[in-house]
Chains A and B, each alone.
Chain A
Amino acid sequence: MSTVAPPTVAAAAVDAYKIYGTKDSEVRALDGVTISFEAGRFTAIMGPSGSGKSTLMHCLAGLDDLTSGSVRIGDDDLASLSDRQLTSLRREKVGFIFQAYNLIPTLTALENITLPLDLGKSDRDQAWIDTVIDAVNLRDRLGHRPSELSGGQQQRVAVARALASKPHIIFADEPTGNLDSRTGAEILTFMKRAVSELGQTIVMVTHDPVAAAYADRVVFLADGKVVDEMVEPTADRVLDRMKKFGS
């Protein structure tokens, strides 16, 4: 229903280092990561605990800053942006889907979805919002508060919110971590459709091979470095690759 975006780079990290602590107790969360994410694709970042996958995502999204190296979203070099510019970048060009508890409890589902738009000055594209709402199948739940929604419904609201501003790129942090497998599958299907049908770009951090299998491409991280990647993954292949980290 939408034209597939040309293979431009939606986000990229070059020589990214993130070092916590001082010399003796130095922890290299990112140890020279260079990676780019093409627009219109669904990428999964995988790796064992402590591999730096969450840190990479936080830095890519402008939530955290690098020790050295650079990160770009579209044409913007994040290091050169002021806090105010970063704020509007997050509002207009980046969408987020967190693990859980990521809705404002005092706002209704619809208000949560349109929150990034309302926070900014930009005109809302009502047709697009309707498309998104129908895509996540929430039409009859719009007036409810988060506490009145199930976990899966809450996460669908979160997905819709991430899509609402038609961002350059959406970052998802373990979006199915708190859901049962059936609801999780439902969310992942929505995300896959958002990429294939609505032309969105999604980068997802996960440790679940089944979730990663929904992506177009999987990037493997270990000890702060990119160690491997896989195109057109299946759950079994991803699982096999992950098993190697253990040994």
Chain B
Amino acid sequence: MARPVVRLTIRGVLARKFRILLTTLAVVSGVAFVSGAFILTDSVKKSINDLFAVLSEGIDLEVRSVVAFGDPARADRDPIPAELVDSIAAVDGVRLAEGNLLRAATVIKSDGEPLATSGPSFGIAWTGPDGLDGRTLIEGRAATADSEVTLDKSSARRAGHEIGDVITIVGPKGKGDFTLVGLTGTGDTDGGGGASIAAFDPATADAFLGANGLVDSIYIAITDDASLTTVQDELNSVLPSNVEVITGEQSAQETAGAINDIIGIFGNVLLGFAAVSLFVSAFLIFNTFAIIVSQRLRELALLRAVGASVRQIRSMIIGESLIVSVLATVLGIFAGMGVAVGIVALFNATGAAFPSASLIVSFRTVLVSILVGVGVTVAAAIIPALRAGRIPPVAAMRPELGFSALQKNRRLVVGSAVFGLGLLAFASGIAVQPGGAAGTLGLAGLGAVLLFLGIASLSTTVAAPASRLISRLLPLPFFPMTRSVAGRLGSRNAQRTPRRTASTASALMIGLALVSTVAVIASSIQKTFRDQISTSVSADFFITNGPANFQGLPPSFAERLAELPELSAVSPFRGADVLVNGDPKEVGAVRGSAFGELVDLDLLDGSVESLDDGRILLHRDPATDYGVGVGDELTITWQNGTESVVQVGGIYADSTIAGNWLVGLDLLASVSTAEPVDFFIGAKIADGVEIPVARAAVESIAEDFPSAEVQDQAEFQQSQEDQIDQLLTIIYGLLAISIAIAVLGIANTMALSVFERTREFGLLRAVGMSKRVLKRSIRWEAIIVAVFGASLGVVVGVPLGAAVASVLPDTVITTIVVPYGTIVNILIAAVVVGIVAAIGPARRAAKLDVLQSISSN
């Protein structure tokens, strides 16, 4: 019984190869992103774990200071005295102990610019390839004198340095010139796993990196006959209580785990965009199958007439979608490997130097890809299949009876219900925010999906009038397309199958709705930021460590700026993780005497200067939460475990720059010896000093810190906006994939419509319509569909964006801005999309032979 169904299904697919291929392509991209995300994260995680395993291969134990709370790999640990190395080496069973020191140090390229890396820039202490650090020597030798350095080979190449060159490196205390004596690698790579690594001999490292006789941790190798736990216990009894002894294995796992988390986030972002493009593909699949079913109406009715059951008809359509999905899933998994390789290559091109790893296609990857690829495709084909089953056998002789069976549905009711449900889910998702970030995203995402489905369904109702309206307004209201025969024809054709027009447009709607949503949020953030800077910032200069490097500025920079007579107030801003009365918080540390002149805190009580007396300032919201006022006390637990009871010195109302908690630099320095870094430095020009004079003075100090960027208010604001714009470009780029699928969808629908109207086109050509006019009418139709989709996208996306913006905290968004420029661009882009989508179908229509077309049925 199944045999003829299988045969019919396979033949059905073969007869529509091109159509099926197009549909397959749409699914492939979605599956490719899903599998690519998994392959990438699996492979990179594996290689990073391997890398750290190699690096720590010789390290049996590691000694480091303890932290009281927080993530073990990312916590700010106090350094420990280098002298401990000697007492550790004296312990029975210890073969070798060496200090590990790692600080920010930027390599200056041969052209004088700082080297940009995709990871951090490090300077380290290195005893050479025989030591415990797993770094390998590729060329030359290890640095042994205070004028020597080695670099990882990848960074040296990108910086344009060769062995023997004198190169400049910027450490925490300023610039230094060193002779490059060797090139190093990590594991089997020639890079630093994304970081640039400048390695000095331990004494030079201590001086140049400003360690003052301290090291970050101490690596230990034990003798062959010693037991790990015995040595560990022995060390614990010898060493002071503020240090701990962990195994090298644990240390490697902690470090790798922290990096794995970041890669995991990256993978999840990819999966998010995969979901969007799969959702859009589902529309294309739905549309293609719906059109195929209506075109095969007579054939399906004939099958019913000669004895095919409803189930057999439905199985046939589902079977066709199954073939598409299997094809797409297989191709998608291979394409996913390509995606993974491509992304790794992209990162390597910017200097990430991912360890060369073989691609890992796990069982989970394959399983999820199959579930997603097959699931989405078959789900999208279910409704067309159900409709196909409704075709009555009599339609074999009277097709018009079949069409009415295909049209029958409760679209308005179901569409409204789904729309309402979506609205409810989305609103409660962003307003109530159940279950933290995951719950909020999940519920809001589900709501958005339902909203899109509901609108896609409801848009059928407005498709015809909207098409009419668009054709009156395009290309220009005073010269509408309805003036020309081609325009009128295109317009009528778009109106005559509202369901097809609507579902084709809906695919485009999704991508563009997300673009509008993101655009509204981004422009609101930018506007809010601009307003905040102008109202709450009075600093004249901002110094940051530039976009090339996210490690912050060394404290010596701010200290030297503070000595300049041209500046009246200078304060760095650094951060620390603490517990306030037991709750984890982030506090900012600033100079109390200067900060009040740089940032308008909108102080409600107390004084900013009290920070320098060891007091704490807080925003009025936490002040209310903790029920404290000026003079009350709070208990701060620092990351190294030190507890301080601190008096409240002031309450403020503007947290834009300061955040919720502020302490003085001296308080932070008195409790923590962890190497501080400054997020930014604010500076105000002294009275009577000309701006260019002050700037020149600041720039002269900045020369010793080439990666630092000195910006005035306008430049600072611009650079912050540029960062948001960069992020937007990436998001738009990824959404472009879903828009491309939608374009494919429009082209597909147009091609099917052209095929359907063969006879009609033949007639038009027979009565004298030129190929050019015929092509133009198809182009107009595609433009109408695209503009309709884009309009839906804007109409849906802008309110969604405004809704998200309205629930974001005031520090992020206070004013909601509708980016009219972006909206106009979207609509213009839609016209282009229509023109592009119509190229193939129009050409095909023009090629039709007049006589054959008329005689076809």
B857 touches A119 (CB 8 A): no
Query: Which of B3, B11, B394 touches A58 (beta carbons < 8 Å)?
Result: B394
Shortest Cβ distance from A59 into B: residue = B394
* A98 CA to B397 CA, complexed, in Å: 7
* A102 CA to B310 CA, complexed, in Å: 19
Query: Which of A84, A96, A111, A120 touches B305 (beta carbons < 8 Å)?
Result: A96
In A77-108, which residues have CB < 8 Å from any B CB?
Answer: 83-84, 87-88, 90-92, 96, 98-99, 101-102, 104-107
Nearest Cβ in chain B — how far from A177, in angstroms? 11
- B interface majority secondary structure: helix
Query: Which of A58, A88, A107 touches B307 (beta carbons < 8 Å)?
Result: A88
Residues of chain B lying within 8 A (CB to CB) of residue A165: 307
A63-B393, A107-B11 in contact; A101/B307 too (CB < 8 A)?
no
Q: B819-832 toward A: CB 8 Å interface, digit per residue (1/0)? A: 00000000000000
Nearest Cβ in chain B — how far from A134, in angstroms? 22
Q: Counting CB contacts under 8 A, is A15 at the interface?
A: no
Shortest Cβ distance from A162 into B: residue = B306
A87-B310, A119-B312 in contact; A107/B393 too (CB < 8 A)?
no
* A91 CA to B4 CA, complexed, in Å: 13
A101-B857, A105-B15, A107-B11 in contact; A115/B306 too (CB < 8 A)?
yes
Query: Which of B15, B312, B392, B397 touches A173 (beta carbons < 8 Å)?
Result: B397
A98-B396, A115-B4, A118-B3 in contact; A106/B14 too (CB < 8 A)?
yes
Q: Counting CB contacts under 8 A, is B767 at the interface?
A: no
Residues of chain B lying within 8 A (CB to CB) of residue A106: 8, 11-12, 14-15
Q: Counting CB contacts under 8 A, is B1 at the interface?
A: yes
A102 touches B1 (CB 8 A): no
Shortest Cβ distance from B10 into A: residue = A106
Q: Counting CB contacts under 8 A, is B188 at the interface?
A: no
Q: Counting CB contacts under 8 A, is B83 at the interface?
A: no
* A173 CA to B4 CA, complexed, in Å: 25
Query: Which of A63, A90, A107 touches B7 (beta carbons < 8 Å)?
Result: A107
Which of B7, B15, B304, B394 has the largest count of A CB atoms less than 10 A from its CB? B394
Q: Counting CB contacts under 8 A, is B308 at the interface?
A: yes
Q: Counting CB contacts under 8 A, is A54 at the interface?
A: yes
Residues of chain B lying within 8 A (CB to CB) of residue A101: 298, 857
Residues of chain A lying within 8 A (CB to CB) of residue B308: 87, 91, 119
Residues of chain A lying within 8 A (CB to CB) of residue B14: 106
Residues of chain B lying within 8 A (CB to CB) of residue A173: 397
In B720-754, which residues have CB < 8 Å from any A CB?
Answer: none
In A161-183, which residues have CB < 8 Å from any B CB?
Answer: 161, 165, 173
Residues of chain A lying within 8 A (CB to CB) of residue B4: 111, 115, 118-119
Residues of chain A lying within 8 A (CB to CB) of residue B312: 119
Query: Which of B15, B304, B306, B309 touches A161 (beta carbons < 8 Å)?
Result: B306
Q: Counting CB contacts under 8 A, is A47 at the interface?
A: no
* A64 CA to B304 CA, complexed, in Å: 13
A54-B397, A58-B397 in contact; A119/B306 too (CB < 8 A)?
yes
* A173 CA to B306 CA, complexed, in Å: 14
Q: B395-418 toward A: CB 8 Å interface, digit per residue (1/0)? A: 011000000000000000000000
Nearest Cβ in chain A — how far from B855, in angstroms? 12
Q: Counting CB contacts under 8 A, is B303 at the interface?
A: yes
A83 touches B299 (CB 8 A): no
* A159 CA to B309 CA, complexed, in Å: 22
Q: A226-239 toward B: CB 8 Å interface, digit per residue (1/0)? A: 00000000000000
Q: Counting CB contacts under 8 A, is A116 at the interface?
A: yes
A104 touches B305 (CB 8 A): no
Nearest Cβ in chain B — how far from A94, in angstroms? 8
* A115 CA to B308 CA, complexed, in Å: 9
Nearest Cβ in chain A — how far from B155, in angstroms? 62
Q: B1-37 toward A: CB 8 Å interface, digit per residue (1/0)? A: 1011001100110110000000000000000000000
Residues of chain B lying within 8 A (CB to CB) of residue A115: 4, 303, 306-307
* A101 CA to B398 CA, complexed, in Å: 12
Q: Counting CB contacts under 8 A, is A244 at the interface?
A: no
Shortest Cβ distance from A115 into B: residue = B306
Q: Counting CB contacts under 8 A, is B302 at the interface?
A: yes
In A39-76, which residues have CB < 8 Å from any B CB?
Answer: 54, 58, 63-64
A119-B1, A119-B4, A121-B1 in contact; A87/B397 too (CB < 8 A)?
no
A58-B397, A90-B393 in contact; A104/B307 too (CB < 8 A)?
no
Q: B87-113 toward A: CB 8 Å interface, digit per residue (1/0)? A: 000000000000000000000000000
B394 touches A64 (CB 8 A): yes
* A173 CA to B7 CA, complexed, in Å: 28
Nearest Cβ in chain A — how far from B390, in angstroms? 11
Nearest Cβ in chain A — how far from B11, in angstroms? 4
A54-B397, A120-B1 in contact; A111/B7 too (CB < 8 A)?
yes
* A54 CA to B396 CA, complexed, in Å: 13
Query: Which of B299, B310, B394 touches A63 (beta carbons < 8 Å)?
Result: B394
Query: Which of B298, B307, B396 touches A91 (beta carbons < 8 Å)?
Result: B307
A91 touches B310 (CB 8 A): no
Residues of chain B lying within 8 A (CB to CB) of residue A83: 310
Which of B11, B12, B15, B312 has the largest count of A CB atoms less than 10 A from its CB? B11
Shortest Cβ distance from B12 into A: residue = A106
B299 touches A120 (CB 8 A): no
Residues of chain B lying within 8 A (CB to CB) of residue A88: 307, 309
* A106 CA to B5 CA, complexed, in Å: 12
In B306-339, which residues have CB < 8 Å from any A CB?
Answer: 306-310, 312
Nearest Cβ in chain A — how far from B486, in angstroms? 32
Q: B588-613 toward A: CB 8 Å interface, digit per residue (1/0)? A: 00000000000000000000000000
Residues of chain A lying within 8 A (CB to CB) of residue B306: 90-91, 96, 115-116, 119, 161
Nearest Cβ in chain A — how far from B193, in angstroms? 56
* A90 CA to B393 CA, complexed, in Å: 10
* A87 CA to B3 CA, complexed, in Å: 18
* A165 CA to B307 CA, complexed, in Å: 11
Nearest Cβ in chain A — how far from B756, in angstroms? 15
Residues of chain B lying within 8 A (CB to CB) of residue A116: 306-307
A54-B397, A111-B7 in contact; A119/B307 too (CB < 8 A)?
yes
Nearest Cβ in chain A — how far from B431, in angstroms? 49
* A161 CA to B307 CA, complexed, in Å: 12
Shortest Cβ distance from B4 into A: residue = A118
A104 touches B302 (CB 8 A): yes
* A10 CA to B73 CA, complexed, in Å: 88
A87-B310, A90-B307, A121-B1 in contact; A104/B8 too (CB < 8 A)?
yes
Nearest Cβ in chain A — how far from B304, in angstroms? 7
Nearest Cβ in chain B — how far from A54, in angstroms? 7
Nearest Cβ in chain A — how far from B841, in angstroms? 22
* A106 CA to B299 CA, complexed, in Å: 10
Shortest Cβ distance from A118 into B: residue = B4
Nearest Cβ in chain B — how far from A62, in angstroms? 8
A63 touches B392 (CB 8 A): yes
Shortest Cβ distance from A99 into B: residue = B397
A105 touches B299 (CB 8 A): yes
* A144 CA to B824 CA, complexed, in Å: 56
Shortest Cβ distance from B15 into A: residue = A106
Q: B649-671 toward A: CB 8 Å interface, digit per residue (1/0)? A: 00000000000000000000000
* A165 CA to B306 CA, complexed, in Å: 10
In A158-215, which residues have CB < 8 Å from any B CB?
Answer: 161, 165, 173
B15 touches A87 (CB 8 A): no
Residues of chain B lying within 8 A (CB to CB) of residue A87: 304, 307-310
Residues of chain A lying within 8 A (CB to CB) of residue B397: 54, 58, 63, 98-99, 173
Q: B278-311 toward A: CB 8 Å interface, digit per residue (1/0)? A: 0000000000000000000011001111111110
- Besides A98-B396, A121-B1, 19 other A-B contacts (C-beta < 8 A): A58-B397, A63-B396, A64-B394, A83-B310, A87-B304, A87-B309, A90-B305, A92-B307, A96-B396, A98-B397, A104-B302, A105-B299, A107-B11, A111-B4, A118-B3, A118-B4, A119-B307, A119-B309, A173-B397
The list of the 9 closest CB pairs from A to B, nearest first, reads A91-B307, A106-B11, A118-B4, A63-B394, A116-B307, A87-B309, A116-B306, A106-B15, A90-B307
